[in-house]
Amino acid sequence: MIQERKRSWAMAIKALVHPRALAMLFLGFSAGLPILLIFSTLSVWLREAGVQRSTVTFFSWAALGYSFKFVWAPIIDRLPFPILTVRMGRRRGWLLVSQICIIASLLLISFFDPKMALTMTAVGAVLIGFSSATQDIVIDAYRIESAPADLQSMLSSMYIAGYRIGMLIAGAGSLWLADWWGQSTYDASVWAKVYRIMALMMLVGVVTTFIIKEPEVKESRDSVFRSTADYVRFLLVFFITISAFITGFFLTASLSHEIKQHLIDHWGWIKQLAGFVTESGRFIFSVLLGSLATWGSIKARIVPFDHIKETYIDPLADFFHRYGTTALVILLLVGTYRISDILMGVIANLFYLDVGFTKAQIATYTKFWGLWATLGGGFVGGILSIRYGVIRILFVGAFLAAASNVLFAYVAGKGPDEMLLLMVIIADNGSAGIAAAAFVAYLSSLTSVSFTAIQYAIFSSIMTLFPKILAGYSGSMVDNVGYPMFFIGTAIIGIPVLFLILWIHRLQTSVIGK
């Protein structure tokens, strides 16, 4: 475990104006812009187009690319992109490619009306999620490699600040524009213009990529990848594996539906559980089929086992070697830390609409004022993490983030009260900012420079995988238990996280004391 030490307030505040920290502000903006366009803003668009609430929350699965980015993170980490890697460097080259893909995906989704072409809207959302997750892989690696460990807390805070500003533009900005151009009637062309404006805003990230310098990181290990042919073969196996996974997922669609219906017919009271179990079964089968495809590729000598070992096995082995059995507890914490926040986030905009708030009110209170509350929480979280240590603030953030969800149950019973909503948003977003700043810094401290991109991608993927799968059913949960009980439940589900943090803190203290 890494021993944490307290630093002076002056040193903590001085880290705010470090050049690398300022660079992370703009890269954070580039990372924060796309996520709401498939996670929150899109839900308002779909709801206005007449899509059912349960279907709208399923669209949150378009962001599952963030949860599986560890699969292609090694490719981004190792495979040089033609021309750009030589001219711009490994990180900046891939960063530019991902940003261009995000822009193209945003333009693509703007050409389809979900009322008439829901499938194509889903395809566009998935492409945005994939491209944005790829950008996150590169930014995370760049952040960790570009500054020493004692600056990571503040870099995390600046990244979160930029991220939230990007979310403000994509959330409040897009809703303001849609409300201004469309008023109270649904018009697909209005949303098309909104998404094209968002594509234009991605140029902030592109410009930043050209300005920043490539981090200077000395490779600490020899690679088994010797030539371009090695990279090409590995890329081929990657596509074979992904194709097998997708094939397995689609082949089991009808069988999964039949099993789900059978469970509902016999045990109707576990309708949501039936859906979760059957979809989890499809996922596990698809993973096994993809793994079989990888094994077959190794046996067919398309790619040597050493390439797979270095890319996927070695990063995990390094992590378990450094943390021993404590690694399992850490991974459990990583996989559940944001569960209350994500469950709440998927249903939030639908909740505001159902309570009776307008798009303009949602933009003003939950996005605009929510941004400033999150920024304040993020800066406070970063400074406190440097001053008192990450683990302590990790606990405080987890407690506040879960507890603040209960406040929304109160809002559900009061109706569209603007001042009440403002106070609740400030409390909730401020808590989330503190928690996020500490958590990103904690994840950064877990990574090894030798495996920066893949290890952080694994951590951040685990962080969102289970919560996002569960969040896809949040619309169905609300249909059955109502908003107040749902929000109380999201707070209760965050309690075990507090015990995990205390457990890890005790393990860390005992290791340091030896």
Same domain, 325 and 252: no
Same domain, 340 and 466: yes
Q: Looking at the domain assignment, is residue 242 inside a domain?
A: yes
Task: Point out the domain boundary residue: 257, 286, 303.
Answer: 303
Same domain, 59 and 207: yes
Q: Looking at the domain assignment, is residue 3 inside a domain?
A: no
The amino acid at 182: G
Domain limits at 498? 9-224+304-513
Instruction: Report d(CA 484, CA 498) in Å as an integer.
Output: 23
Q: Looking at the domain assignment, is residue 1 inside a domain?
A: no
pLDDT value at residue 4: 47
Number of helices (H), then strands (E), belonging to the chain: the values are 28, 0
Q: Can you read off the two tokens belonging to residue 478?
A: 């609300």
Instruction: Report d(CA 43, CA 178) in Å as an integer.
Output: 13
Same domain, 397 and 317: yes
Task: Point out the domain boundary residue: 271, 303, 335.
Answer: 303
**Residues 114-160 pLDDT 10s:** 888 888 888 888 889 889 988 988 888 888 787 666 666 677 778 87
pLDDT value at residue 111: 92
Same domain, 199 and 151: yes
pLDDT value at residue 266: 63
Instruction: Report d(CA 255, CA 310) in Å as an integer.
Output: 37
Q: Looking at the domain assignment, is residue 197 inside a domain?
A: yes
Q: Which residues of the chain have pLDDT under 50?
A: 1-4, 9, 269, 512-514
Roughly what angle, to the nearest 10 degrees, separates helices 418-446 and 390-403? 150
CATH number, residue 128:
1.20.1250.20
Instruction: Report d(CA 497, CA 90) in Å as an integer.
Output: 37
Q: Looking at the domain assignment, is residue 440 inside a domain?
A: yes
pLDDT value at residue 29: 93
Beta carbons within 8 Å of 47's beta carbon, 6+ residues apart: 53, 56, 349, 350, 353
pLDDT value at residue 99: 96
Instruction: Report d(CA 84, CA 93) in Å as an integer.
Output: 5
Total domain count, the chain = 2
Same domain, 40 and 127: yes
Same domain, 490 and 362: yes
Instruction: Report d(CA 123, CA 129) in Å as an integer.
Output: 10
Please, are residues 329 and 503 in contact by the beta-carbon 8 Å criterion? yes
pLDDT value at residue 237: 81
Same domain, 312 and 195: yes
Q: Looking at the domain assignment, is residue 2 inside a domain?
A: no
pLDDT value at residue 2: 43
pTM of the predicted model as reported, rounded to 2 decimal places: 0.68
Same domain, 37 and 96: yes
Same domain, 282 and 426: no
Q: Looking at the domain assignment, is residue 340 inside a domain?
A: yes
Same domain, 259 and 339: no
Same domain, 293 and 312: no
Q: Looking at the domain assignment, is residue 395 inside a domain?
A: yes
Beta carbons within 8 Å of 456's beta carbon, 6+ residues apart: 137, 140, 141, 144, 443, 444, 447
Task: Point out the domain boundary residue: 253, 288, 303.
Answer: 303
Taking the alpha carbons of 209, 212, 213, 218 in that order, is the dihedral positive or negative?
negative
